[in-house]
Amino acid sequence: MEKLEIKNVKLHYYTSKGIIRALDGLSFDLRAGESLGVVGESGCGKTTLGTALLNMPTPPGRIVGGEILINGLDLLKLSENELRKQIRWEKMAMVFQGAMNCLTPVYTIQKQMMETILSHRKMSKEEAEARIRKYLNLVGLSADVLGRYPHELSGGMKQRIVIATALFLEPQVVICDEPTTALDVVVQAQIINLLKQLKQKLKLSFIFITHDLATEAEVADRIMVMYAGKAVEIGTNQQIYGPQGAAHPYTKLLMAATPRLHQKVDQLAFIPGTPPDLLTPPTGCRFHLRCPQVMPRCRQEEPSLIESEPAHTVACWRCYHE
């Protein structure tokens, strides 16, 4: 893959309460070998984005607009069969949020890994076993784990199994949804280092979803900040975390609310209010109700992502004027 382009993608959930606009016109791109971090508060649409990228919305969700182009080929125009044969797990794989807790408890690791691989590829049992061993080795596990059941493994080991399984079919893009959230800090660091090594060794592109900015700063080349189903800021790691700092008021608050070492607890900032209800998103800028720098225009007109410097785009009326 040379380039993945996401253009104005909309994924809405059609619930009995109404339409939840979980992704409401999202655009960004991802180059080969690049890692893009996606951050934002709970409910802003991060997991929904992952499912949209595989054209696999969770019911009652539907993709209602946009294009997802892999080297110019629009995934949203492919049939289920074509998606399964050409795209899902072949070109793009996803490590789902909480996947390590979804390993089948009654099967050994060997059995579940074999099933996954043989359901996608015609190969002999010996070839499949060799492939499994190769990827276990890559994620730092010994073949001893193969005879064990999931409950006999630690959280970190299970997460490594899930990552190995996502890599089996040698995809070019791997989407990791909160891959370290349920793990203790030591294991978190190990998994992050593992993902960084894999990126280098396998020349993978990563989309790394997390609400944890500190993790993102470690792994991502570029960062996309999401708020209420939209991107509010996209920039390089340096542009978002560097001395000049982020531009969007939401990103600034999100950064200020991230705990740091040697910081007194009473100094920790928080973002006032709660994220908006996506059934009835606010008019204008979706962040205006919580924004400390709100202007009258922000309440009525929606800002679009505009380049503030090369590679750095921001959707904020105030930022355009500064």
Residues that bind Mg ion (CB under 5 A): 46-47, 97
In order, the DSSP letters of 285-299 are STTTTT-TT--HHHH
Task: For ligand ATP, give the closer residue by CB, 48 or 116.
Answer: 48
Rounded to a whole number of angstroms, the minimum distance from the CB of residue 197 to ligand ATP is 26
Beta bridge partners of 20: 13
| Distance, CA of 283 to CA of 298 (rounded, Å) | 9
48 binds ligand ATP (CB under 6 A): yes
* Cβ atoms of residues 178 and 211 within 8 Å: yes
Task: For ligand ATP, give the closer residue by CB, 99 or 136.
Answer: 99
Two tokens at 180? Answer: 């370290």
* Cβ atoms of residues 282 and 288 within 8 Å: yes
231 binds ligand ATP (CB under 6 A): no
Rounded to a whole number of angstroms, the minimum distance from the CB of residue 130 to ligand ATP is 36
Task: For ligand ATP, give the closer residue by CB, 61 or 235.
Answer: 61
Task: For Mg ion, give the closer residue by CB, 48 or 251.
Answer: 48
Task: For Mg ion, give the closer residue by CB, 188 or 239.
Answer: 188
| Distance, CA of 178 to CA of 290 (rounded, Å) | 26
What is the contact mask toward ligand ATP in residues 273 to 312, using x (rule: CB under 6 A)?
-----x----------------------------------
- By CB under 6 A, the count of residues binding ligand ATP is 18
In order, the DSSP letters of 270-284 are --SS-PPPTTSPPSS
| Distance, CA of 117 to CA of 112 (rounded, Å) | 9
Q: How many CB atoms lie within 10 A of CB 199?
A: 19
Beta bridge partners of 307: 313
In order, the DSSP letters of 3-19 are EEEEEEEEEEEEETTEE
Rounded to a whole number of angstroms, the minimum distance from the CB of residue 23 to Mg ion is 12
44 binds ligand ATP (CB under 6 A): yes
Given the rule CB under 6 A, which of 41-49, 117-125, 194-202, 241-249 is the region that contacts ligand ATP? 41-49
Residue of 16, 17, 42, 72 interacting with ligand ATP (CB under 6 A): 42
| Sign of torsion over alpha carbons 106, 108, 111, 115 | positive
Binding interface with ligand ATP (CB under 6 A): 13, 15, 20, 22, 40, 42-48, 58, 60-61, 97, 211, 278
